[in-house]
Amino acid sequence: GRAEQYLYPFYRRDLAEGTLTKKRAQELIDTFLLRFSRYRAFASAEPSGYLAEALWGNTHHIDVGGYKPDGSDGTNDLSYMFVEGMMHSRMHEPNFGVLVHSKTPESFLIKAGQLVALGSGQPMFLNHDAIVTSMLSRGDLGGSPMTLELARTASAFGCNEPTVPGMDSGYAVCISAPAIQAFELTLRNGIRKKYNRQEGPATGDPRSFETFEQFRDAFTQQVAFIVEKTSIAQNIVEPLVAKYEPTVYQSALIDDCIEKGICREEGGARFNFGPFTSLIGSADIGDSLSAVKKLVYEDKTVSWDELMDAIDSNFEGHDDLRQKLLNVPKFGNDDDSADEQTAWVRHVYAQETIKHKNTRGGYRIPFEIPLAGYIAAGARVGALPSGRLAGEPLADSCGPTKGSDRNGPTSIIKSVGKVNNAELYGGQTLNLRLDPMIFQDQMGFKRMADFIRTFVDLKLHHAQINIVSSEILKAAQEDPKDYRDLVVRVAGYNAQFVELPGYVQDTVIARTEHSL
């Protein structure tokens, strides 16, 4: 939760009574922050490396900054001291967030930029304005009322999922509803090519679609089908968790569980949102829709037969067509035509997800935090009309696909800002990589602060930044023993770079290195 908010009254009291000095308080904060990295939680799958998620740590989450319940700025002395503590420790945990909003002091943004410049993948930036809007929007779904004062106390847990600490059931990630699979089913009238069987509804052969809207309507039907099946599966699991693995002690610390006499797994918590179901590869779908719209329906320079033949052959012998597809404007470059399609995909997914209730009286929550699942998901997806080859990783966040961002980081956040981010109630991850040379002088910190101000104004939910050059990352791959302390931001979590599987390392290196 927001540690500096609940500790601040004790800090002020102890200073006033003379039982604590600021220097001693900083030392206590530093040692406290070190404790989180005592634990590792990752899953080994085979001798070649971890599972695709490649988790490192338990994603203990602490946020600083943000609003007070009355709408005033909550930044205090401890906010700065926690940032300073992260600068001292430089560990991969806790998962540390800075809550920024329209009233955040410039000095605090500069301080956060100094932590960014160290290249440890810390902190993430969370837009508290967007979180408040999202929490209030959740309240419209039903259940206990979400007041404005409560919404302003919200922070994040896990990766960067918004919550009201001590009142939410804490159900986070369950499974992804694979919208990218829905897109593949749309291409083949509901047939899954890998198994040559009907897995989705028969929505029609695209070759028969006379308009682009017919194709999008078919995709919407496939998304609705997959989201529904995901919800059914999760509703089978939830009662089993409540029966066999109730968290009685933790439930006692969550408001209303004691009053109701039931644990959080049965619906005892004040708020019962979730589980969160993640969208993965929305930019890949959006870019594919852009290509279909432009080349098949607008320019009429590519037929469905040509496109499907090229996709089925993974573009072998179709290099010219693939170049046409790759040259269609892509999401992440502040191009309205491209951004419109990705924004639409996220809207469809969000609206279909919130139609479904869980077994605790709440509703499913859409979000876009793929962890490193974009790698595993991509491995199961064939070639796409965007020009992407079969098996390649999907977009690693709510940002653009690999290598398609050509107009700098401001264009990226402008594109993401065109999405109705508030309706992805569980938040989003935005990965960015910046050139370390940005911080060679003090103006670099000012530019970073201005960039974050723009991020807030555009109403994005989240941004996390790696400040490390490709040369350093490649050197670490070649000689790991000399880079044991190199920490990078993978997705919603940090990890020691040399401990990650090679295929995850490659995706971090593949992120475009921008300047400001």
By annotation, the residues acting in catalysis are: 159, 161
**CA-based nearest residue to 151, from 161, 138, 169, 142:** 138
In DSSP terms, 293 is beta-bridged to: none
In the numeric block, the tokens 């966040």 are attached to: 397
208 close to 303: Cβ distance less than 8 angstroms: no
**CA-based nearest residue to 345, from 279, 297, 263:** 279
Helix, strand or coil, per DSSP, at residue 11: helix
Q: Any idea how long the chain is? A: 516
Query: In angstroms, how far is CA 226 from the centroid of its own chain?
Result: 21
Write 233-239 long-range contacts (CB < 8 A, 24+).
233/175, 234/174, 234/175, 234/275, 234/277, 234/358, 234/364, 235/358, 235/359, 237/174, 238/265, 238/275, 238/358, 238/359, 238/360, 239/359
- CA distance linking residue 438 with residue 464, whole number of Å: 16
Tokens describing residue 62: 């602490």
- CA distance linking residue 178 with residue 381, whole number of Å: 10
In the numeric block, the tokens 């179901």 are attached to: 277
